[in-house]
Amino acid sequence: MNLQPVTMHLTDLSLFSQGILVSAALVLFTSFVMLAQARIQPLIYTFAWQGVLLSVTTALVALVSGHTHLYISALLTFVLKALLIPWMLYRLVQRLHIQQDVEIVSHPSLTLLGGAVLVVFCYYVALPVAQLSTLVTRNTIAVSMAIVLLGMLLMITRRTAVAQVIGFMSIENGLFFAAVASTYGMPMIVELGIAFDVLVAAVLFGVFFFQIRTSIDSLDVDRLNRLSEREE
């Protein structure tokens, strides 16, 4: 396998391609912001911003590549990931009266460093795939993989159910980004199906917040520890 670094200068690219790269970098940046954000409400806002940036990137890719169906994807992402799901989470947080809650994030700097390591790792793994791709989207495959892994890191480091759901949804963002970056989106029927699944998942998560709250009187999922092979 050829692991020669790909020489590329940002200024060689067209303006639109530079725009795609910048917005991809910003999407990645929001993932890091979410990792460090301990308050629930700003976390939701950051998630919404990630959705906005994602749909902007999708629209830019549509413009550059001429795949018109990507405009629909961009619109779908904007409505779903930037408006609807954040709004639903916001409403839930208000109804549960936890909007002011601050979570204790243990070892924030270590987490961020770990995130940086993950990004480097993604570039390493994605290199063989990226070499096959077109120049515009070469970087974005690694970035999308990094978003997926950073979402997982968020889920691992957090203990409240809300933060875990945001991690979960940002994994979905990363996957969507991967589809846009590497293949100009999935076929429409698949994309609609995925969007539907994500929407249903968001509704179900809302139901679960209330179920968890009534069963353990908090949203700290670390306290969900009754089921194990160990005997009390």
Q: What is the dihedral of CA 76, 78, 80, 84, to 10 degrees?
A: -140
Rounded Cα distance, 24 and 59, in Å: 12
Tell me whether residue 86 or residue 167 sits nearer to other proteins (CB atom).
167
Cα 121 from Cα 16, distance rounded (Å): 27
For helices 108-132 and 138-157, give the axis angle rounded to 10 degrees.
150
Contact window for other proteins (CB under 8 A) among 43-51, 74-82, 97-105, 210-218: 210-218
State the nearest-atom distance from the C-beta of 111 to other proteins, in Å. Answer: 18
3 forms part of the interface with other proteins (CB under 8 A): no
**Applying CB under 8 A, which of residues 148, 153, 162, 163 lies at the interface with other proteins?**
148
Positions in 112-131 near other proteins (CB under 8 A) = 125, 128-129
Residues 17, 36: Cα–Cα separation, whole Å: 29
Q: For residue 201, state whether it binds other proteins (rule: CB under 8 A).
A: yes
Should residue 73 be labelled a site residue for other proteins when binding is judged by CB under 8 A? no
Cβ closest to other proteins, residue 82 vs residue 195: 195
